[in-house]
Structure 1
Amino acid sequence: MTTTTFGVDGMTCAHCVQHVTTELQAIPGVSDVAVDLVVGGSSQVTVTSEAPLPDEAVAAAVDEAGYALTPRRSLL
């Protein structure tokens, strides 16, 4: 199992969390998604998967939900 944490910008409520969670769980191999919601900042999204996930797949799923990944070297 692999656990990776990503920052996601723009989430403001539980409904936002549900959209992102649903899209990430649709990626093959994902077994769990946990979100630490930070309103007005970068929420931490932890994804557990069978193998490391391509950043492009995660970015596409988050984009499909209507949000954006925080750049990895961001100061947010």
Structure 2
Amino acid sequence: MTQTTYGVRGLSCWRCMISAVDAVRALPGVHTVALDLEPHGESLLTLAPAGAVICDQVRATLDRSGFELTRRLRRPRPGVRHRSTPPL
């Protein structure tokens, strides 16, 4: 299963984290959401499966919630080299 990880700025506490996760989880095609909170930097939001979710949908959802999508990193199954994509 492929996962997509996004960098997100503006998450400063657990309430922000819950707000972002709930908003993204409501998108069609999202079955799993994980977030590594980094209060003073870039948090990492990971979605699976990523095939049905469009980056622009994630960006718009986070924008409406008051957060900034900064980049995307697509991650194949464990054991496969990761490929970083340019900033969005």
Q: Please state which band the TM-score falls in when normalised by the shorter chain.
A: 0.7 to 0.9
Q: CA RMSD in A?
A: 1.7
Compare relative contact order (CA 8 Å, sep 6+) and give the higher one, 1 or 2.
1
Q: Give distance in 2, aligned partners of 1:50 and 1:36.
A: 17
Provide the identity percentage: 36
Asked if the contact 2:25/2:31 (under 8 Å) is kept, the reply is yes
Q: 1:69 and 1:10 mapped to 2: Cα distance?
A: 9
Q: Give the total of aligned pairs.
A: 74
TM-score (norm 2): 0.75
Question: Structure 2: which 5+ residue stretches go unaligned?
Answer: 73-85
Q: Distance in 2 between matches of 1:38 and 1:50?
A: 22
Query: Unmatched 5+ residue regions in structure 1?
Result: none
Larger Rg: 2
Partner of 1:42: 42
